[in-house]
Structure 1
């Protein structure tokens, strides 16, 4: 298992992945589309174990500006999908199983100008969960911060959970532009859910609501969320599918 916070990057014009460590700043400046819309897909992809994960990704992710995946690996099929749709992929490995690295992965139609990986080890199983901050330029000259997170799961109390969220919240509160904070938060207890809402309120974030709310839940508590600020919510839906043990969240924002 990798011990350092690092991320892999692959883009449409590269044959091999870059390996980047720690905070990374790039000089590329490719803003998102000028049409004032920002389309997002958030999905725990269940290690790509289901046979139809790729067909769902191709159908609902092909025109997305941002795709935030959890439990993802940079398989040949996923890298090919990214390159065919000119998406830049950033992955923070969390665990390794038979030489495959799984973790959060953010696919975007723009290069990030800043990236910051996070990795938190769960206390009992010693398995890790990862998170990733990426910042992208918008055409209105603002900078969009995107946080893709897979929260720690197995822990007594909320100490480790609080530390993981808090380490990210410090970056969000220091960012002056719009923010999307999304992923699998593993909010399977009332204490975890309360803590998540407490931190997101402090960060000035609003939760995206879903009319047909078929998000994966535990004890009537949803596990997947999208929070945002500095953007206008236009549309949100949950896609029911058997391509994973989680249902994808599809959200459209207007930049201004």
Structure 2
């Protein structure tokens, strides 16, 4: 196979350093995008900087650690700290791909889970990244995921339960976002049911011109001020999502 799956202790990688003087407010902007490994390089950087620039949190799927994307992070997103969970390396050049979270504040804890099942044919795993932050004295969990695609419905469902189980003990506010590969109605309803049981709200997005809705955002413990799709972007095979949230004064996570 043309891929190398990294050892468990080699999955996480950090790029960049935050400004220690930055203080997050109770309102913040989130940018979510499957960036298609930046393959459309001639227009990708412009779109990524224009839409992602200035956001407080950036959640990426199909990030590519080559000689281009990390340089964009370092140069155009200098105030950010990036944490990456690498799914696999290409043998031909050792570039890796996976999920990433960029933020203007440093996380207090970072962890990941690797799907127990691998994709058919390619035999590559999918990754979910967990970053815990302190915002206004409240612990907030950000989860960036890229869910299995070419697998059975049972394997898809089990992979969502793996993510839910990892989040189950966290009692504070949560943002869960990414590419869930919900390309049929059964997958979509299973996804909503599993995360609803954790008290997570699935966001309906404004200007949602997507025919196939693969990317989603779930939240708990926030007021949603904006949730929209940038449906005119051509630099990826996925449209970016932009969310603005406000921390609620009192968090009441579901016990269901």
The answer for the alignment partner of 2:253 in structure 1 is: none
Alpha carbons 1:32, 1:137 under 8 Å: kept: no
Moved more, 239-248 or 164-173: 164-173
3-state SS of the aligned residue for 1:69?
Answer: strand
The answer for the alignment partner of 1:150 in structure 2 is: 146
Query: Hey, what's the Cα distance between the residues in 1 that align with 2:45 and 2:189?
Result: 34
3-state SS of the aligned residue for 2:65?
Answer: coil
Give the CA deviation at 1:76: 4.0
Which structure 1 residue ranges, 5 or more long, are not aligned? 14-28
Q: 1:129-168 to 2 correspondence within 5 Å?
A: 129-139=126-136, 141-156=137-152, 158-168=153-163
The answer for the alignment partner of 1:4 in structure 2 is: 7
Alpha carbons 1:149, 1:182 under 8 Å: kept: yes
> Alpha carbons of 1:78 and 1:100: their partners in 2 closer, same or farther (altered >3 Å)?
same
3-state SS of the aligned residue for 1:52?
Answer: helix
TM-score by length of 1: 0.85
The answer for the alignment partner of 2:254 in structure 1 is: none
Alpha carbons 2:36, 2:237 under 8 Å: kept: yes
Give the CA deviation at 1:54: 1.0
Give the CA deviation at 1:165: 1.2
Alpha carbons 1:232, 1:254 under 8 Å: kept: yes
Alpha carbons 1:44, 1:71 under 8 Å: kept: yes
Alpha carbons 2:5, 2:124 under 8 Å: kept: no
TM-score by length of 2: 0.85
Q: 1:40-79 to 2 correspondence within 5 Å?
A: 40-50=30-40, 51-79=42-70
Query: Hey, what's the Cα distance between the residues in 1 that align with 2:189 and 2:21?
Result: 35
> Alpha carbons of 1:80 and 1:201: their partners in 2 closer, same or farther (altered >3 Å)?
same
Query: Hey, what's the Cα distance between the residues in 1 that align with 2:202 and 2:23?
Result: 24
Moved more, 80-89 or 199-208: 80-89
Deviations 1:20-71 (A, max 9, x none): xxxxxxxxx9697443211100100001101211111111111011111111
Query: Hey, what's the Cα distance between the residues in 2 that align with 1:241 and 1:117?
Result: 29
Query: Hey, what's the Cα distance between the residues in 2 that align with 1:179 and 1:228?
Result: 5
State the aligned residue count: 235
Alpha carbons 1:31, 1:138 under 8 Å: kept: no
Give the CA deviation at 1:4: 2.9
Give the CA deviation at 1:94: 1.2
Which structure 2 residue ranges, 5 or more long, are not aligned? 249-256
Give the CA deviation at 1:123: 4.8
The answer for the alignment partner of 1:244 in structure 2 is: 236
The answer for the alignment partner of 2:178 in structure 1 is: 183
Alpha carbons 1:215, 1:246 under 8 Å: kept: no
Alpha carbons 1:216, 1:246 under 8 Å: kept: no
